[in-house]
Amino acid sequence: MEQLKKELAIVLGKSLSRVEPISEQPPARLYALYDEAGEPLPMMAKYYRHQGRAALEAKKLAMLGHEGLIQVPAVYGLVLSQQPPVHEMLLLERIKGISAEAASGDVSRRQQLFEQVVEGLLGWHRIQSHGLIGSVDSVQENNWPVWYRQSVEVLWATLGYLRPPFFTQEDRQILFRSRAQFKRLFNDFDDPAVMLHGNFRLSSIIKEPHSDLLLAMAEPGNILWGPREYELIYLSDQGVEGELLRLYLSHAPVDDGFMWRRWLYQLWSCVDSLVHSGEFDRARFDHARNQLLPWLG
């Protein structure tokens, strides 16, 4: 932590009293920064262990901010460090709010927040890709089932090479079966690709702590162009997340195939996280597997 503080002090040209971790997700850690007097700076540092990730997120935030109705954190700078371990950092705007995970007990205020979120999300979803599909670093002219199948095959091949010891034969069987049923799971799929946030969950939503009004959406995912149904895969059917999911679907229904494809997406997103960060969400993987099994025949 001291090394990180010194490095940031050099970059910013001012001393820091402390660097405080706010959150940690598999690809990155987020830090709050405090000046010599102990006052918070109006920016945060996001630390990436893998090269290339910081630039991709900066590009995604720029596109979301330019095209959408919802505020996203401004990017102040990109730091490419050769200090061991080699890493990258984004200097991001610090938005004075709290995560929507801190659910309000006031139903009307929560409903108002979710209406704002859905309206903003649909603003992005009205932006058509005109035939483009894919992630920020690999956009191509294609259709979603073909592009997604390609990405799954890359993950499958990489998983075979890595062979993580905790990954069971049963785990491999469900992935193999899902690949075998790919054509049927995407039968008659024709939803257009739109601009996606790509990591739509409560923790990405920043709200005003006293009024519960929407302030911004942070932590975007890597997928830039894809179908609207892919945006919804991180939301649960239950509790507050279930309320948000149902509200979105009441405004903009998706294809009936979402009932089974959402579990396919979740299954392979767990594999993606394992391959690219070494983190594996066993509970989420097992739940997706159990939900997908009845649809595999």
- For residue 56, the enclosing domain spans 2-93
How many separate domains does the chain show? 2
Same domain, yes or no, for 220 and 282? yes
Residue with tokens 């923790």: 203
Taking only the tens place, the pLDDT of each residue in 125-144 is: 999 999 999 999 889 999 99
Give one word for 263, left, alpha or beta, with left for phi > 0 and alpha for psi -120 to 50: alpha
- Asked whether the beta carbons of 100 and 202 are under 8 A apart, the reply is yes
My answer on whether 284 and 157 are in the same domain is yes
The answer for residues whose C-beta is within 8 angstroms of residue 134's C-beta and 6 or more apart is 140, 142, 147, 223, 224, 225, 226
- Long-range contacts of the stretch 28-34 (C-beta < 8 A, 24+): 28/53, 31/4, 32/94, 33/8
- Say if residue 211 is in the same domain as residue 86: no
- 72 and 155 in a common domain: no
Domain boundary among 73, 93, 113: 93
Do residues 222 and 277 both lie within one domain?
yes
Place 50 in a pLDDT band, splitting at 50, 70 and 90.
confident
Same domain as 284, residue 205: yes
> Does one domain contain both 150 and 49?
no
**What is the pTM assigned to this prediction?**
0.92
Asked if 146 and 155 count as a contact pair (C-beta separation under 8 A), the reply is: no
Domain co-membership, 172 together with 267: yes
Q: Are residues 37 and 168 in the same domain?
A: no
The per-residue pLDDT for range 104-129, each reduced to its tens digit, is 778 899 999 999 999 999 999 999 99
